Every structure is written in C-alpha cells, then in structure tokens.
Amino acid sequence: MSEFERISEHIYVMHAEQEADRPLLAAVVGRSRTLLIDGGNSSAHAQTFRDYLEREGVRRPDMMVLTHHHWDHSFGLAEWSLPAIAQRQTAEILRGYAGLDWNEAALDGLIAEGKMSERTRSDMHVEYKGDLTKIRVEEPNIVFERFIDVDLGGLTCEIRYVGGDHASDSCVVFVKEEGTLFLGDALSPSVYGGPMAYTTGKFLALLDTIFAYGANVLVESHGRPVTREEFYHDVRRYEQLARQVLRHGRDRSAIERDLRVDLGLNAEAELPQDLQEAIEYFMNGLEK
C-alpha cells in the first residue's frame, strides 16, 4: 500500500515501499514553482504520486531533480516528462539507458558490466509485471557539475554533488528555509559491480559534508524521515565503526572489540545486526 505524508508546510512525500524497492518521492512546493525530488521507478510509481498531489491540490510540478541515476529513482521521469536537473554523470548514464531497447537481453548486458544486479532484475520484474519492454527512459536536460540552486519562490533548494560509495553521481538536496536535507541513497554502500561495500574515506567525508548542513530533518530515499537527533544517534555508530576500520584494517576481531567499547557493550555482547553487516561492507571496501 502506498503511503503519503505532508512532512512540513511545503513538502509532500510518497514513502518508500519494500515491494519492488520503490524509493521515497518528494514534492517541494514554493510560491511560484514545485520541484520534484526523484521521478520514481516506473510510470505506475510516478502516476501514484501525481494522483496524490492532485488530490491534495498541490501546484503542478514544474521540474524535477534526480538524486542519482539508479533506475528506481530515474525511470519514472519519462512519465512526468518535465525539465529535469541532474549531475553530469547522471545525465550521461541515463542518455545511454534512453538509447537501449529494453528487454531481458539488455538487462543481461548491464548485469554483466556490473551496472545492475540480479536484485535489480527481480525488482524490475515486480514493478513492470514481468515485461521489461514497457521500460521507457528519458534523459535529464539541465546538467550541472558541482552544485545548482533552485528558487521556488520563498523557498530555495540547494542541490549539491557529493558522490560516495553508493553511486559516483550521488547528490543531496537541501531545502534551506525548512532545514530539510534529502540524502538520496548517498549513505548506502555500493550495490553494483561486486559485493556491497563501504570505503572509510568516502564514508567519513560524506558524513562531514552532511553534518555541516545542520539540518533539522534528514530523509534517506529507502528509509523514513528522521530528526537530527535520531539521525546523529544512528549514524554515529557507523562513524565509530569506520574509524575502527581505519585503525585496524583487516583485523576484524580488533574492530569488533573496540567497537563494543565505543558502544558501551560488554566484551561478550553480540553487535547489532546492522553493524555486523556494515563491518562486512567495510571489509569488502578494503579489498578494493
């Protein structure tokens, strides 16, 4: 079931969904313009959000920004067919995807090249009901390199290229007057072209960038919006982990031992499941 929420006076969202791995979509509504953040993974996904915005009487979207090129964020753009802002790499990759004849063979090729995965295939099959020929990809037409600001009328969206492990083209969107920061998937590990991985350098640099915004609300595309306090509480554990990986390298038992101390756990305690997975991702990152 799709779930919608007006998370602040000017921001409407359609929450992320487990099925087919649909990410959160957002509409930021200023006095004179409405900006969409991400297009959705299909026409159906885009339509569901558009119907909600119409029911709410929200000003029609004027433009869109893509947080990165991944299909679940970008393939819905064709349905909206709006002026779309994207980082240069995002635009280049989507231009390539727009020129493909979409079917199983095309997807086989992308998986072989490490640009998509078997997980992508199963999610696409759910979203497109087994028929990949229904996929339509449109390329963005407003391209920036490092940052671009969008004035929506009394509301400014600062779009900034941040990169990171998940996708080399990741961007964040800061709705300045509301103090809301959209992170896309930037803080997630890499998902294509090998086992999921984090690298300490990219992860810690990204955290510094994010913390510097001092945002009140932070929104990750596959999670729920959280307050600054909730975000810092959660992410601080990952920061401690990354620092232990820097210190101990491949010595996993030393990492686990010192992380328990950092977290105030006793020496025999089991580490939380998410951190155990994250250790695995950091170890994979060391192989790189």
**Considering only CA atoms, which of 74, 279, 77 is closest in space to residue 184?**
74
Give CA separation, 75 vs 61, 111, 176, 202, in Å: 17, 17, 27, 27
Stretch that binds Zn ion, among 27-35, 38-46, 180-188, 270-278 (CB under 5 A): 180-188
Which residue in this structure is represented by tokens 């802002």? Answer: 85
> According to CB under 5 A, which one of 185, 186, 196, 231 is a site residue for Zn ion?
185
| 122: helix, strand or coil | helix
- Cβ 23 to Zn ion, closest distance in Å? 7
Q: Report d(CA 66, CA 64) in Å as an integer.
A: 7
- Cβ 70 to Zn ion, closest distance in Å? 4
Asked if residue 228 lies in contact with residue 219, where contact means CB atoms within 8 angstroms, the answer is no
- Cβ 166 to Zn ion, closest distance in Å? 6
With binding defined as CB under 5 A, does residue 165 bind Zn ion? no
Q: Which is nearer to Zn ion, 64 or 271 (CB)?
A: 64
Stretch that binds Zn ion, among 24-32, 181-189, 226-234, 263-271 (CB under 5 A): 181-189
Q: Which is nearer to Zn ion, 70 or 115 (CB)?
A: 70
The residues that bridge with 25 in the sheet, in sequence order, are 14
Q: Which is nearer to Zn ion, 137 or 155 (CB)?
A: 137
Burial of 264: CB neighbours in 10 Å, binned 0-12, 13-18, 19+: exposed
Give CA separation, 200 vs 56, 89, 192, 282, in Å: 43, 23, 18, 7
- Cβ 69 to Zn ion, closest distance in Å? 8
Size of the site for Zn ion (CB under 5 A): 2
Stretch that binds Zn ion, among 64-72, 80-88, 115-123, 230-238 (CB under 5 A): 64-72
Q: Which is nearer to Zn ion, 119 or 250 (CB)?
A: 119
The angle at the Cα of 81, spanning 62 to 32, to the nearest 5 degrees, equals: 5
How far the first Cα of the chain sits from its last, in Å, is 39
- Cβ 251 to Zn ion, closest distance in Å? 31
Site string for Zn ion, 66-85 (x = CB under 5 A): ----x---------------
Asked if residue 10 lies in contact with residue 29, where contact means CB atoms within 8 angstroms, the answer is yes
Q: Which residues bind to Zn ion, rule: CB under 5 A?
A: 70, 185
